[in-house]
């Protein structure tokens, strides 16, 4: 018998978050039927974060149709601004899954330092790409990666 050391690809740790209705949601339940998933860390006070998610929102219907991708937006707003998340999301009309990480537990577990920080998971839940900060146009590169992940 021999031993084969197996270094796992990076996946999503299990952390308890909140939905906008206050229900608990475990991050290990993030999945998308074998299709790619984008996880984007943001906050209501972060302008580039909102710009990134608003720019993606303009293309989101096409992205979903073409690749089956789903976007999960993790707000790291703390108690001071967490109550702003639901009003903001409604007023801009995002169709993303929104989760609250009020004490930055998931942010810490994912090694995120500052927002915006975006991860791409392939259909099996492995992290295949991550990007920190946002410049207009970055979403095109992200989408190239989404398409590549969808073909796998």
Partner 1 sequence: MKKRIACCSLSAFLSVCSYGQFGNNQREIDLGEIKGNVSMAYQQYQEDSAINAAVPDEKSTLTAFTNILYTRGNVSAGIRYESYLPAQLGYPDRFEGTGLGYRFAAYSTEKIGVTVGNFYEQFGSGLVFRCYEERLLGIDNAMDGMRVKAHPLPGLYVKGIYGKQRFQFSDGLVNGSGLVRGIDGELVLNELLDSLSNKSIDSLPYRKLNVILGGSFVSKYQSDNSPSLILPENVGTYAGRLRMNYGKVSVNGEYAYKINDPSGDNGFVYKDGHAALLNFTYATKGFSLLLDAKTTDNFSFRSDRTAELQDLMINFSPALTKQHSYNLAATLYPYGSRPWGEVAYQAELSYKVPKKSKIGGKYGMLLTANYATVFGLDSINILEDISAESSSREGYVNNSFFMPGKEKYFQDFNLEIKKKFSKTFRATYTYFNFFYNNDINQGAFDNNNKGVKGNIIAQIHVLDLSKRFMKKHNIRLELQHLSTQQHLGNWATVLLEYTYSPHWFVGILDQYNYGNSDAEKQVHYLYGTVGYVKNAHRFTMGYGKQRAGLFCVGGVCRQVPASNGLTVTFTTSF
Nearer to partner 1, 13 or 66 (CB): 13
Q: Which residues of this protein are in contact with partner 1, per CB under 8 A?
A: 1-11, 13-14, 16, 21-24, 26, 45-47, 78-81, 83-84, 86-93, 102-105, 108-114, 117, 124, 126, 129-133, 135-138, 140-141
Cβ–Cβ under 8 Å, residues 120 and 147: no
Distance of CA 120 to the CA centre of its chain: 7
Which has the closest alpha carbon to 148: 65, 53, 66, 40?
66
Task: Determine whether 105 is exposed, middle or buried from the number of CB atoms within 10 Å of its CB (0-12, 13-18, 19+).
Answer: middle
In the complex, the smallest distance separating the C-beta of residue 67 from partner 1, rounded to whole angstroms, is 19
In the complex, the smallest distance separating the C-beta of residue 127 from partner 1, rounded to whole angstroms, is 9
Nearer to partner 1, 33 or 137 (CB): 137
């Amino acid at each position: 018998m021999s031993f084969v050391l197996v270094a796992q690809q990076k996946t999503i740790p299990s952390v308890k978050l909140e939905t906008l209705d206050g229900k608990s949601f475990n991050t290990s339940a993030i999945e998308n039927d074998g299709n790619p998933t984008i996880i984007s860390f943001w906050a209501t006070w972060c302008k580039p974060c909102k710009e990134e998610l608003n720019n993606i929102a303009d293309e989101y219907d096409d992205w979903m149709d073409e690749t089956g991708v789903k976007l999960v937006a993790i707000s790291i707003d703390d108690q001071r601004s967490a109550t702003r998340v639901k009003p903001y999301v409604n007023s801009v009309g995002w169709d993303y899954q929104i989760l609250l990480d009020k004490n930055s537990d998931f942010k810490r577990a994912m090694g995120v330092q500052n927002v915006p920080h975006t991860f791409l998971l392939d259909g099996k839940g492995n992290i295949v790409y991550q990007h920190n900060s946002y410049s207009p146009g970055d979403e095109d590169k992200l989408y190239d990666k989404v398409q590549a992940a969808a073909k796998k």
